[in-house]
Amino acid sequence: MRAEQRSGSLMAAPYGLYLLVFAVYPMVFAVVLVFLQWDLVTAPTFAGVDNVRLLAHDGRFWRAVANTFVFLSIHVPLQIVTALGLAIALNRQLVGRSFWRAAFFLPVVISGAVVAILWSNLYATDVGLINRVLVRIGLAPVPWLTDPATAMPAIAVMVTWKNVGFYVIIYLAGLQYIPRSCQEAIELEGASAWQRFRYLTLPSLLPQTILVITLSTINGFQLFIEPYVMTGGGPLRRTYSVVLYLYTNAFAYQKMGYAATIGVALALIIGIVVLIQRRVIGKAEAL
């Protein structure tokens, strides 16, 4: 018993130490930094609630938050529809099922930096692949990343494309849990394909849909490398993301207190948005 105690403590000690230094301390210090002004060169000074007051009136920060909501309003629904559609298509006897699955999952394993660089070229106005195709079928080219109206939607579509394979796997797992007997029963009742989808598949997949909504929302708030590489936050700051703003404050302006304040605010906003989503979905389910 004593020996077990001792080896247990010894074996867990490095992780305990790691948690203290790289998890607990940064979390506590994040809150401390909110009240400091610090450029990392001179000594930090106490700033009271200056950072918070500044943030509350910082048009750039709220622009970034608003941009994120634009991003989410396109990304989340599109992600659900595409992932669900592909998962349903895959959920049957198919030749080469693992090939299709692997093809859809491919962009998930590729670095976001590479995907951003690749898609800047696909979206390029004059020589981009997408506009070449549009012109070939007789449409006008679109300035995807340079028009303030299309830049954020273009990024949202790209991120949906990159992550869809991941959500397909979630939905596929959910589809496997729908009991065969239920499927047979509803088919015997003479339900159409749409009715089967609407009254059996969709309600059965509610837990997966909630997961997709939560994960893609959190992911959306953490948008960074895409605008950093593709647009630099422009045009007219329409693709500026919260993390890009945080990074700029830390890296370019050396404002550690303010950058940390943005980080704390972002964590709070994510928490609130996810809670509200859960609430709304819970209410909708009860109806």
Partner 1 sequence: MRIFRRIALYAALSLAALTFIYPFLWMASATFKPRGEFGSLALIPEHFTLDNYRTMWARAPFGRALLNSTLVATTITLSVLVFGSITAYAMARLRFRGSPVLNAATLAILLVPGQLTLIPLYTLIVQLGWTDTYAALIVPYLFNATAILMLRQFFLQIPQSLIDAARMDGMSEMRILFTIFWPLSKPVLSIVAIFTFMGSWNEVLWPLLVVREAHLMTLPQLLTVFALGGGAGSVGVSLASAMVLVVPVVVAYMFLQRNFIESMAGAGIKG
Region 49-88 residues binding partner 1, contact defined as CB under 8 A: 86
Find tokens 């009860």 and name the residue. 286
Q: Between residues 6 and 278, which has the closer beta carbon with respect to partner 1? A: 6
Q: Between residues 1 and 286, which has the closer beta carbon with respect to partner 1? A: 1
Q: Which of 139, 149, 185, 218 binds partner 1 (CB under 8 A)?
A: 218
Q: How far is the CB of 130 from partner 1 (least distance, A)?
A: 10
Residue 46 φ then ψ, to 5°: -75, 130
Q: Between residues 137 and 286, which has the closer beta carbon with respect to partner 1? A: 137
Question: Exposure string (b/e) for 68-97, b if CB count within 10 Å is 16 or more?
Answer: bebbbebbbebbbebbbebbbebbeeeeee
Please tell me whether residue 7 binds partner 1 under the rule CB under 8 A: yes
> Which string of x and - marks every residue 188-207 that binds partner 1 (by CB under 8 A)?
--------------------
Q: How far is the CB of 49 from partner 1 (least distance, A)?
A: 18
In whole angstroms, how large is the CA radius of gyration of the chain? 24
Residue type, 205: L
Size of the site for partner 1 (CB under 8 A): 85
Peptide bond before residue 179 is cis, with ω within 30 degrees of 0: no
The DSSP bridge partners found for residue 45 are 37
Residue type, 141: P
Q: Which of 178, 224, 234, 277 binds partner 1 (CB under 8 A)?
A: 224
Which H or E run includes 37? Answer: strand 36-37
Structure tokens at 280: 């709304």
Q: Which of 55, 70, 134, 169 binds partner 1 (CB under 8 A)?
A: 169
Structure tokens at 1: 């018993």
Q: Which of 108, 161, 146 is nearest to 230 (CA)?
A: 146
- Near partner 1 in 16-45, by CB under 8 A: 16, 18-19, 21-27, 29-30, 33, 38, 40
Residues 6+ apart with CB under 8 A from 33: 256, 257, 260, 261
In DSSP notation, 237-277 reads TTT--HHHHHHHHHHTS--HHHHHHHHHHHHHHHHHHHHHH
Q: Between residues 21 and 139, which has the closer beta carbon with respect to partner 1? A: 21
Q: How far is the CB of 286 from partner 1 (least distance, A)?
A: 25
Q: Between residues 61 and 119, which has the closer beta carbon with respect to partner 1? A: 119
**Window contacting partner 1 (CB under 8 A); options: 63-71, 73-81, 94-102, 278-286:** 94-102
Q: Between residues 7 and 149, which has the closer beta carbon with respect to partner 1? A: 7
Classify burial at 204, counting beta carbons within 10 Å of its beta carbon; exposed 0-12, middle 13-18, buried 19 or more.
middle
**Window contacting partner 1 (CB under 8 A); options: 4-12, 46-54, 65-73, 195-203:** 4-12
- Near partner 1 in 98-157, by CB under 8 A: 98-114, 117-119, 121-122, 126-127, 129, 132-133
Please tell me whether residue 210 binds partner 1 under the rule CB under 8 A: no
Q: Between residues 91 and 287, which has the closer beta carbon with respect to partner 1? A: 91
Please tell me whether residue 276 binds partner 1 under the rule CB under 8 A: no
- Near partner 1 in 235-254, by CB under 8 A: 242-243, 246-247, 250-251
